[in-house]
Amino acid sequence: MENVILEREDSIAIIRLNREKTLNSLDMETFEELGNAVEEVAKDRSIRLVIVTGNGRAFSSGLDLSVMDRIHQMEDEEFQVWLRYTQERIYTRLEDMEKPTIAAINGHAIGGGFELALACDIRISVPDAKFGLPEINFGLVPDLGGAQRLARLTNPSIAKELVFTGKLISAEEALRLGIINKIVEKERLLEEAKSFIGNKAPIPIKLSKLMINKALETDTRSGLVFAVQAQNICIKSRDHKEALMAYKEKREPKFEGK
């Protein structure tokens, strides 16, 4: 892959957008390579944390205009199939995969790039990054899940304001609105992302992610039923026993994901 670089550091995978000259804009080839990278880390059981970031000055400037040229040549059905494929293979897969995902936002995250960050569990940003969904300025709507995820992350009114106006907001504003979790200096960005979760047992992380994601779709009682089942799995795990033992022995636990 050329447009997307997949790196591994022990149990951490780093998916890095690599189109620095175009501010990591998303063309057809980049979408395909990004899908390949997301699929690979999702299947790799040795990976416990996934970080998405970009090379250069931007996280991603969004859709490359070459994609518009390709789309305008498609029939309605072909376009709809391609868009659903892209939604599911990259954005929904990132959101649903069992491993925690962190967007290390090294610069502007615009349009489809902002939607990519929104599909991650956690967002850490540099101070000078800007965020926005400017599709309205081109007579379009956000179509990769940004409107839906933004409405759940903040509230419908904030999501409507950003989508209706297409305006860009600063990292400070995004932090105030709860869109990003933290602002750090660029030289510390990746290290902060790598250490954000720390040494935690994989099984409860996986089940907690699923439980929180499902909380947005189900009622409280259904969520509590799931919590009982999830806790039952955790109680019987080796990692739970190791965590207790490590606590008693005042040492760092060594988790196996079992």
Contacts of 70 (CB under 8 A, 6+ apart): 28
Cβ count near 80 (within 10 Å): 11
The H-assigned helical ranges of the chain are 28-43, 65-71, 76-86, 93-96, 112-118, 146-153, 156-165, 171-176, 189-195, 202-215, 220-235, 238-249
**Catalytic residue list contains 135:** yes
Set 88, 135, 172, 191: catalytic member: 135
Contact 30, 67 (CB under 8 A): no
Contacts of 145 (CB under 8 A, 6+ apart): 87, 91, 92, 95, 115, 118, 119
Secondary structure letter of residue 253 according to DSSP: -
Set 2, 115, 191, 256: catalytic member: 115
Contact 117, 91 (CB under 8 A): no
Amino acid occupying residue 193: A
Say whether 110 sits in a helix, a strand or coil. Answer: strand
CA-wise closest residue to 37 among 114, 82, 90, 109: 90
Half-sphere exposure of 3 (CA within 13 A, CB side): 17
Say whether 222 sits in a helix, a strand or coil. Answer: helix
Name the residues annotated as catalytic.
115, 135
